[in-house]
């Protein structure tokens, strides 16, 4: 087991001095940080097994598989797993995305062995009981029926299909009705056998435990896991950007609201443009009463129930979106105002005051996000996932403050072309 050196320092932010990192012989990375201010521990992590591995015919398979992990293992039934968690006041859960299956849990420090035991059993020896599988399938189909009637969900789904095309990011990770219906128990067992294993797995533990003890606990329950045939994730295909404005409407009869998503590709999380884009996005549609977008579309014109912008940045190509919920009769007017604000943003960038306010907000809210063990786990996971460097938060304020107005306008012009927007709407009528 390879491990990093660590000094104990009293800091509210993770750093190379107080986050202990170890690599187990089977490929699992463990990161641990102590916090003895409460008697609990939080755990989080991921495995590189997600929707990237799915075929078009079996969309939703990764989500189905990860949702089945705690519904029965070789040693425990669904009821016994949840009874044990409930008895100790602990929690454990799984979810999945395009790249990874994620997990998270919380317990009193004395119950960390139980949490890790249940994590190990769920990952290594799930049994996919047929009755639980059908119960879950019914729940998933109900969720998809609700999605089909939700204007916000359908506008988002349509936007991603248009923006990403046949790229994996254009496919819904929860699948479609026909793909969820087609998934068999054999599909789940095969997916689990081929894609779930220790290589590339990351576990983060933060709480009332010495970091080396946390690593030893993970090694005890997961150190012997071996999956020689574990498949590597396929590389992300190249994405072709849109060449002209695309606009589509998804009709849902009987709705009193329309939702719209207007956007374009954005930087990924590791891109040097990310911080300038993030600060610019705050001015555009986040800060205060949802920034300029909220001020123009909602406050001044009264055209929207809500209107804001969002930057989604992960491993692959991100998205930069403006989202609004409006009265169906106001869709055209709202789109006009959004396009006007985007043109203004690209032309003039941000003012000195707007940038300073956003920078102060970014720096000021950071300590709050790291106050809890759970927030600290998320922060360490993000640092590791995007290879930001364990001194990321020591550099954070200077990184934020170093962004200048010219950086923001340069990044805005790089990603936002008002002549090449993707516009998705969902609601009544023809759009």
Helix (H) or strand (E) holding 262: strand 258-266
Q: Per the structure block, which two tokens stand in for 366?
A: 């950071």
Q: What integer is the mean pLDDT of 11-21?
A: 91
**186 contact partners, CB below 8 Å, separation of at least 6:** none
Q: Which two tokens stand for residue 344?
A: 């203004």
Place domain 14-222 in its CATH homologous superfamily.
Metalloenzyme, LuxS/M16 peptidase-like (3.30.830.10)
pLDDT tens for 102-121 read 999 999 999 999 999 999 99
Q: Where along the chain do its domains lie?
A: 14-222, 246-427
**Do 246-427 and 14-222 fall under one CATH topology?**
yes
Question: Which pLDDT belongs to residue 431?
Answer: 67
pTM exceeding 0.85? yes
CATH 1.20.950.20 is held by the domain 246-427: no
Q: What's the average model confidence in pLDDT over 231-260?
A: 94
In this predicted structure, what is the pLDDT of residue 304? 87
298 — pLDDT class (breaks 50, 70, 90): confident
Task: Report residue 118: phi and psi, to 5°.
Answer: -70, -35
Asked if 12 and 393 count as a contact pair (C-beta separation under 8 A), the reply is: no
How many Å apart are CA 60 and CA 424, to the nearest integer?
23
CA–CA distance, 272 with 117 (Å, rounded to integer): 40
pLDDT tens-place string over residues 56-93: 999 999 999 999 999 999 999 999 999 999 999 999 99
Q: Which token pair is 280?
A: 């610019």
Residue 1 has pLDDT above 80, yes or no: no
Residue listed under structure tokens 């001194």: 391
Count Cβ atoms below 10 Å from residue 29 Cβ, excluding itself.
18
pLDDT digits (tens, 9 = 90+) for 258-285: 999 999 999 999 999 999 999 999 999 9
Res. 302 pLDDT band, cuts 50 70 90 = confident
Q: 66: helix, coil or strand?
A: helix
First to last CA, the chain: 59
11 has pLDDT over 80? no
Length of the chain: 431
């Amino acid at each position: 087991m390879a491990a990093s050196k660590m000094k104990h320092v009293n800091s509210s932010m993770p750093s190379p001095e107080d986050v202990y990192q170890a690599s187990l012989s089977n490929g699992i990375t463990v990161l641990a940080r102590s916090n003895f201010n409460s008697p609990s521990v939080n755990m989080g992590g991921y495995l590189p097994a997600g929707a990237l591995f799915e075929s078009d015919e079996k969309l939703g398979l990764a989500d189905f598989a990860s949702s089945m992990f705690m519904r029965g293992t070789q040693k425990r039934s669904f009821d016994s797993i949840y009874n044990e968690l409930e008895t100790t006041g602990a929690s454990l859960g799984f979810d999945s995305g395009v790249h990874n299956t994620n997990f998270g849990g919380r317990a009193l420090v004395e119950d960390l062995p139980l949490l890790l035991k249940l994590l190990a059993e769920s990952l290594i020896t799930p049994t996919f009981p047929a009755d639980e599988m059908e119960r879950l399938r019914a729940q998933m189909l109900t969720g998809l029926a609700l999605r089909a009637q939700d204007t916000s969900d359908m506008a988002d789904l349509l936007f991603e299909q248009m923006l990403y095309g046949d790229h994996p990011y254009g496919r819904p990770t929860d699948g479609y009705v026909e793909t969820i219906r087609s998934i068999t128990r054999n599909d789940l067992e095969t997916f689990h056998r081929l894609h779930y294993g220790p290589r590339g797995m990351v576990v983060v533990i933060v709480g009332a435990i010495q970091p080396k003890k946390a690593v030893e606990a993970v090694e005890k329950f997961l150190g012997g896991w071996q999956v020689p045939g574990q498949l590597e994730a396929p590389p992300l295909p190249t994405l072709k950007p849109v060449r002209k404005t695309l606009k589509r409407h998804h009709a849902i009869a009987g709705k009193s609201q329309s939702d719209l998503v207007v956007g374009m590709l954005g930087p990924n999380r590791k891109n040097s443009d990310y911080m300038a884009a993030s600060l610019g996005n705050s001015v555009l549609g986040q800060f205060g009463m949802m920034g300029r977008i909220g001020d123009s579309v909602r406050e001044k014109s009264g055209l929207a129930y809500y209107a804001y912008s969002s930057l989604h940045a992960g491993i692959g190509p991100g998205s930069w979106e403006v989202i609004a919920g409006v009265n169906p009769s106001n869709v055209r007017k709202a789109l006009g105002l959004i396009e006007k604000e985007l043109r203004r943003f690209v032309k003039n960038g941000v003012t000195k005051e707007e940038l300073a306010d956003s920078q102060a907000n970014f720096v000021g809210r950071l300590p709050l996000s790291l106050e809890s063990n759970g927030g600290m786990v998320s922060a360490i996971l993000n640092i590791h996932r995007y290879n930001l460097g364990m001194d990321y938060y020591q550099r954070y304020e200077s990184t934020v403050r170093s962004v200048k107005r010219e950086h923001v306008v340069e990044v805005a012009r790089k990603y936002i072309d008002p002549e090449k927007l993707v516009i998705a709407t969902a609601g009544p009528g023809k759009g």
